[in-house]
Chains A and B, each alone.
Chain A
């Protein structure tokens, strides 16, 4: 039960943190947004409530501090400036870290208490002293530090530390009065006090007035008293000061202004001699009913209380008392007077009713004396107890099921196996016909196969739907990120997200994060100008960065557009020449778009200074290779002075790879269809030789030919003179090559299995798949081969 509950909590907490964080960002932009503040507050409030179910006081304390700050914002007592937002976001991040710890270890890390106290202290410091707060006396074995101990500290420092103490952090005050003659004993008081671990602040003062600097000053007599504040434990302090313990006094630091009257909990603590009949819960119920009806005569409320107390007595099998209660109730309702009921409740609460007695309890002095005896017989019972309802069938409250991703992946793999296994059936059918000579059996197998084929396809489709995630999964982290980066760069950026519910396979969506992050950072770092520069260029000071996603046939397109300074092709050309990537002549011959495309080359970076944001070494080349690995494309267009648009186009799903099966040297291989430009058959006469390489001309382009049998081994089959050489024209990393193979076979959709175990290191293959007859098909990785 506990683990399920904790799992649920982890999940809920993460969602609530996300809600709170995005709401805060909205609020920072629109401070008056009442919906947003309520949403943030409720998220944090719910989180606090849920966290109370677990033994995680630091987590609850931190969330509580955040809630208190938000409450003040909500009531208008505090304005939400960027600094408060920073504090809150930091606090939420810390809560997120706690949640991660809980998720991983089932418990919080050892330093959670201290860390939570720091965050909570920083938050509570914003509240102002008037707020009452939970006071945790750090070490109850120690007396509280007197205020004069703290007088020597600068006010700001003292208040900050008091805020931490108020937030529940265990702080100690150490007063160290070294011996007057300590200079003769080799003691260094300053070094001694500095040895106190986790030292937060130290002051030095004179014990006695210094007197006349010339006449009275004795440089060999120590007249100092040190006061230190520390977050260390008493033991640690005593250990550090072990030789000076006689001169040390320890006190607990408590924020004096925080010691307000603690709010009494409404469920009053049970008195020691709690009635054995009612028990704690029952006494609370009865006492509360006295309060509930105290508001004055109200028929509805009274009847509700009547039912409830009736239930209570039934639950306790006090039938005799229950009868009396109904009489008292009827009397009260008839007379519209609460007295009989109140008296009964008061008597019931005070007890002591003989709990051990059997159900037909003897008359206990519970019946109020003033109750007329006549009321017993003829007054109808007003408190009709509800008939026992039929047993409730617990229905699921939500139609959404949360499933661990690993389980979906497992299902996906199993279905992949099923697809492959199913492909063995036509092979079996052929064997039935050809080897066992049973045409009938072959036909039946084929029929079964057709049904199975349809079912597995539907199943595969259904699972792929489950794997679809909205791009919001990655987009959602950008508001925070853009805000933080923009703040660090002193730039003003308005982030616009569109099409966040566009869905794509989870592998794609998850892999999108890093390329997107890089492009967005580039845009903020290099594209978007400082507000002053923008104004000078006639643009609004606040830049706009748009992240947009939409579905285009079987692709998902992500567009990142800024209205920054754009990419200067001339500058790109210059950098490329300086870096020796192209010659000046080549650079000049490039069109502007071609020049811009140079940014994809490895090692290209135009930022004059390396910033810690975009960094060094990771450039657009990495974005390109990531996107290509996912089977997608990248394009960048830019208008100098107007902005840059980067567009990523990715397949909706990559679970299934379409390959073309080819015959090379008598073996079958798969080639990912993404690479294939066209198939052709070449007459031996059109194959030319340039130096040692065979080439042919395809639409004005000289295409090198690669004989795959030479590369992969195997015996080339004789060329059928009438048909020519089979050539598969492929594009690999922007180059066109012609692969000379023995024959083309069919195209098929397969689920690629990565090369594992001993084969994992073998390059040139991107994976394997099983053919219908059980043979393993190697799928070539052309990028690695050439």
Chain B
């Protein structure tokens, strides 16, 4: 795997699926992002509060604390009012998307997220200048 550059942006991936986390890590690191992982909402919240991230990618259905709850809690912290948050879920439902937005997510994607789309989205949300 080549890592052509490091773009200086850090992404926190919160998902209880080990394979899914590896996948995001792979896709995002290839695009130059720094990636950290958390395996459930509680850990995700802790890391989000402590770490200096540019983007959160959050699964919905997770043990201990689900994605909606985690996002809502993240938004309580003034330092995290503006951080872009993507929810990625297996459920392709409008209601789920609206719930995610209501909780404070900025974007809702459906698993499995296409690598190119995920990369482009992550770059756009974090303001990485894209190749022209």
Contact = CB atoms under 8 A, between A and B. Distances in A.
Is the pairing of A and B real? Answer: yes
Interface of A: 1, 4-5, 8-9, 11-13, 38, 42, 45-46, 48-50, 52-53, 263-267, 279-282, 284-285, 288-289, 291-292, 295, 300-301, 303-308, 310-312, 314-317, 383-386, 388-395, 397
Nearest to B34: A392
Query: Lowest 9 A-B CB distances belong to which pairs?
Result: A392-B34, A311-B127, A392-B10, A397-B37, A266-B97, A50-B19, A281-B120, A314-B127, A307-B82
B84 A307 contact: yes
A235 to B, nearest CB: 32
Contact of A5 (B15, B23, B30, B83): B23
Contacts of A308: 82, 84, 106, 125
A744 to B, nearest CB: 56
A390 B16 CA distance: 27
Nearest to B35: A394
A481 B122 CA distance: 47
A279 B120 contact: yes
Given A264-B94, A291-B97, A295-B101, 11 more contacts: A13-B19, A48-B90, A49-B90, A266-B93, A282-B124, A301-B104, A303-B81, A304-B75, A304-B104, A315-B123, A397-B39
Interface of B: 1, 6, 8-11, 15-23, 25-26, 29-30, 33-39, 52-54, 59, 61-63, 75, 81-85, 90, 92-94, 96-98, 101-102, 104-112, 117, 120-121, 123-130, 132
B4 to A, nearest CB: 14
B18 A292 contact: no
B22 A394 contact: no
13 contacts: A42-B16, A46-B17, A264-B94, A266-B92, A289-B106, A292-B106, A304-B84, A305-B106, A306-B82, A307-B84, A315-B128, A386-B82, A392-B35
A510 B116 CA distance: 44
Given A50-B20, A316-B124, A281 B117 contact: yes
B127 A12 contact: no
A316 B130 contact: yes
A471 to B, nearest CB: 24
Contacts of B61: 42, 45-46
A683 to B, nearest CB: 70
Contacts of B125: 285, 308, 311-312
B36 A49 contact: no
Nearest to A46: B17
Contacts, number: 179
Contact of A267 (B11, B98, B109): B109
B1 A1 contact: yes
A753 B62 CA distance: 49
Contacts of A8: 18-19, 22
Given A281-B120, A289-B106, A52 B82 contact: no
A53 B23 contact: yes
Contacts of B85: 304
Contact of B22 (A4, A267, A291, A395): A4
B8 to A, nearest CB: 5
Contacts of A45: 61, 90
A4 B23 CA distance: 10
Contacts of B104: 300-301, 304
Contacts of A11: 18
Chain B CB within 10 Å, residue with most, of A13, A53, A279, A392: A392
Contacts of B124: 281-282, 285, 311-312, 315-316
Contact of A394 (B34, B98, B107): B34
B130 A315 contact: yes
Contact of A389 (B8, B21, B75, B121): B8
B82 A288 contact: no
Contacts of B20: 46, 49-50, 53
Chain B CB within 10 Å, residue with most, of A289, A311, A385: A311
A306 to B, nearest CB: 7
A232 B83 CA distance: 54
Contacts of A53: 19-20, 23, 111-112
Chain A CB within 10 Å, residue with most, of B34, B82, B102, B125: B82
B126 A311 contact: yes
Contacts of B23: 5, 53
Given A295-B101, A386-B82, A392-B33, A52 B90 contact: yes
A49 B129 contact: no
A15 to B, nearest CB: 8
Nearest to B76: A300
B129 A389 contact: no
Nearest to B28: A394
Given A45-B90, A52-B112, A388 B102 contact: no
